[in-house]
Structure 1
Amino acid sequence: MECRVLSIQSHVVRGYVGNKSATFPLQVLGFEVDSINSVQFSNHTGYAHWKGQVLTAEELNVLYEGIKLNNVNHYDYVLTGYSRDASFLEMVADIILELKKANPSLVYVCDPVMGDHGVMYVPEVLLPIYKDKVAPLANVLTPNQFEAELLTGRKMKTEKEAIEIMDLLHQMGPETVVLTSTDLPSKHGDQFLVALGSKKMVNPDGTNSIQRIRMDIPKVDAVFVGTGDLFAAMLLAWTHHHPKDLKAACEKTVSVMHHVIKRTITYANEMAGPGKRPNPAQLELRMVQSKADIEDPVIMVEATVL
């Protein structure tokens, strides 16, 4: 059965973020991907220089109208990531609402990219749009700790508080919530970050149940760009292949990340030379080289069922 994804994300000529980070791995795993590029930049903004264009809400609507006029606006999944314009984000929400009317079983995977480590890097006006319009439409939500705290107005210091926050996010609409990274203490020590997942299920007898998992993920001492976009894309793919098993989906997602990052850091360190820190160009994700790992990841991180 053909599975088609509409991915609305940024595009770079050189390197891997946004749609460049999501499209290839999804295609490798058998998905048809239609991409709308919210920006077209020469490279990601972590470089010294970048140039390019930003798609307006009106231009987004024009592209969508073209798809609709040809009656090919039928999608199984929608995937969205970074957006920094309020009218653009509202237009995205309107399009998803319309696509869900056309296909009620459409699954919307939303990475609510707003900031990290206590700092917002999008305009604050986006928060209420995510809260009131976008999150209620999402089936799968992948915030980091800071974004989850922003959406719920609650802080997490313990696993119990993290679970309460995930429950609050479920109440907004999403059946699946994955906290992609948190500062919660890991039983393995400081060199690990903690990810948590929660999935609401309806059992065959009509009763409800919930799956919750925790993953302790080894940290890597480097700044990568595009990993969050890859994470959301892989979670889309692996929850599709394991619709009833959040543990398996998250293990495969995180293991793909592990393989790609490990290959990237090894290459970057070789290119930089002994004792030198790799530059942004050397740290671009080794995506094509990781094709086999994307298709069939060796499980490197086991999830604990809570």
Structure 2
Amino acid sequence: MTALQQNQVLSIQSTVVSGYVGNKCASFALQIHGFDVCPVNSVQLSNHTGYKCFKGQVLNAADIECLYDGLKQNNIHGQFSHLLTGYIGSESFLLKVGEIIQDIRDSNPGITYVCDPVMGDNGKLYVPEELMPVYRDVIVPKADIVTPNQFEAELLTGIKITTISEALQAMQCLHDMGPKTVVLSSTSLGSNGILVALASSVKNGNKECYKIEMPHKDAIFVGTGDLFASCLMVWMHKDNDLKTALEKTVSTVQTVITRTLDAAQEVAGKGNTPTPAQMELRLIQSKSDIENPKINFTAEKI
């Protein structure tokens, strides 16, 4: 077994040539915090799918198995301190990821696995529906931290979330699957244009829960979930405190999307709707905010 390297993450998710989603987004946020990022791409596209067209390739189970086999033969696979997974578009690829996660954990039981179970949003799936039971039965039970949105939490638990109480019930169901930390990255449980994120963690049999409110912005952002999961990984590692990690993560994402929307509207011109290209996350311009976030949103214990 190789020695576990601190702050070395294997990140398995999508990538794009132009723009910032998936590994293209997460890698930057992790690297400026001192993480060595080893990316494996589930798909590689010219740009994200919100544009009028996109082109690229979808990796299959054999592709990731080949890459992982290279790592394993060189005894690299056992040195990761963290695992991060995001968008995966095929059942066979996701099943292979489950095998890889287990193999890495067998080499290094102390590894931290953060799972963003990307399946859809606002009641709409954007992956094949057969991925849901794989996430529920194979992937989520292996995770230490899981970051679904409201719709994904409903899919995984079978619980319709219309109240904070139902959200907490769904989060407990996710805890029961295995993860010690559950964060609902966004829910529509607020009022008057307010979104709510919820976080719950179990340590030594004790449970702590928090909620944090943020404004809803009437615009389409792509890559925010990838930024959220990577920032949460950073702050849970550095601070080991759920409340602080949630506050820094939400504050970072809100700062980035505010800068993005302001810049996009300026380029588009008054009264015009920004294009997908104009709405790409202003990630590079937000380097200092990602590195040292100002806490603009505070979490309340529940």
TM range (shorter): over 0.9
Structure 2: which amino acid aligns with 1:30?
G
Q: Deviations over 1:20-63 (max 9, x none)?
A: 01000100011110000111111001001111111111010100
Gapped runs of 5+ residues in structure 2? Answer: none
Q: Deviations over 1:211-230 (max 9, x none)?
A: 10001111111101000011
Moved over 3 A (4+): none
| One of 174, 179, 187 as aligned partner of 1:182 | 187
Matched residue, 1:114: 119
TM-score w.r.t. the length of structure 2 is: 0.97
Where in structure 2 are the equivalents of 1:187-226 lying within 5 Å?
189-202=191-204, 208-226=205-223
User: Structure 2 CA distance, aligned partners of 1:68 and 1:86?
Assistant: 23
Matched residue, 2:163: 158
Q: CA deviation at 1:2?
A: 3.3
The answer to whether structure 1 residue 8 and structure 2 residue 15 are counterparts is no
Tell me if the contact between 2:180 and 2:201 (Cα under 8 Å) persists in the aligned partners: yes
Where in structure 2 are the equivalents of 1:2-81 lying within 5 Å?
2-73=6-77, 74-81=79-86
| One of 240, 253, 257 as aligned partner of 2:237 | 240
The answer to whether structure 1 residue 143 and structure 2 residue 140 are counterparts is no
Tell me if the contact between 2:9 and 2:35 (Cα under 8 Å) persists in the aligned partners: yes
Structure 2: which amino acid aligns with 1:215?
I
Where 1:228 maps in the other structure, the secondary structure is helix
User: Structure 2 CA distance, aligned partners of 1:47 and 1:124?
Assistant: 23
Q: CA deviation at 1:260?
A: 0.7
| One of 226, 248, 252 as aligned partner of 1:229 | 226
Tell me if the contact between 2:197 and 2:212 (Cα under 8 Å) persists in the aligned partners: yes
Tell me if the contact between 2:186 and 2:197 (Cα under 8 Å) persists in the aligned partners: yes
CA RMSD of aligned residues (A): 0.9
Q: CA deviation at 1:158?
A: 1.4
Using the TM superposition, name which of 113-122 and 234-243 deviates more: 113-122
Q: Deviations over 1:109-133 (max 9, x none)?
A: 0011111122222111111101110
Matched residue, 1:264: 260
User: Structure 1 CA distance, aligned partners of 2:22 and 2:138?
Assistant: 22
Corresponding residue pairs, total = 297
TM-score w.r.t. the length of structure 1 is: 0.95
Tell me if the contact between 2:6 and 2:80 (Cα under 8 Å) persists in the aligned partners: no
User: Structure 2 CA distance, aligned partners of 1:219 and 1:86?
Assistant: 33
Identity %: 53
User: Structure 2 CA distance, aligned partners of 1:40 and 1:266?
Assistant: 28
Where in structure 2 are the equivalents of 1:287-306 lying within 5 Å?
287-306=283-302
Structure 2: which amino acid aligns with 1:96?
I
User: Structure 2 CA distance, aligned partners of 1:22 and 1:40?
Assistant: 15
User: Structure 2 CA distance, aligned partners of 1:26 and 1:159?
Assistant: 31
Structure 2: which amino acid aligns with 1:50?
F
Where 2:230 maps in the other structure, the secondary structure is helix
Matched residue, 1:132: 137
Where 2:132 maps in the other structure, the secondary structure is helix
Q: CA deviation at 1:236?
A: 0.5
Matched residue, 1:205: none
User: Structure 1 CA distance, aligned partners of 2:288 and 2:49?
Assistant: 29
User: Structure 2 CA distance, aligned partners of 1:130 and 1:170?
Assistant: 14
